Amino acid sequence: MTPNIIIEDWGLINYLDGLERQRKCVQRVIEGAGDHLILCEHPAVLTLGRMTNPQSLLYERKEIEARSVTIERVDRGGDVTLHAPGQLIVYPVFNLNKHGKDLKAYMEELEEVAVDLLKNFGILAISICGQRGVFVGPDKIISIGVGVRKWVTYHGLGINVNTDLSLFDLIKPCGLNVRMTSMQKIKGHAMPMADVKTKIIEQFGKHFK
Q: Which stretches of the chain bind another protein, using CB under 8 A?
A: 49-51, 75-78, 101-107, 132, 144-150, 174
- Cβ-based neighbour number of residue 72 at 10 Å: 13
Cβ closer to another protein: 41 or 109? 109
Please report how close the Cβ of residue 171 comes to another protein at its closest, in angstroms.
Answer: 16
Q: Name the catalytic one among 25, 40, 129, 174.
A: 174
For 85, residues 6+ apart whose C-beta sits below 8 A from its C-beta are 12, 41, 42, 43, 44, 163, 164
Pairing relation of β-strands 45-48 and 139-149? unpaired
Closest contact distance (angstroms) between CB of 195 and another protein is 28
CB of 103 to another protein, least distance (A): 5
Nearest to 191 by CA among 128, 120, 143, 129: 120
Q: Cα 94–145–180 angle (5° rounding)?
A: 135
**Cα(42)–Cα(89) distance, integer angstroms:** 8
Confirm whether 40 is a catalytic residue.
Answer: no
Q: Measured from the CB atom, is 58 or 105 closer to another protein?
A: 105
The residue among 91 and 191 lying less far from another protein, judged by its C-beta, is 91
- Return the active site residues: 174
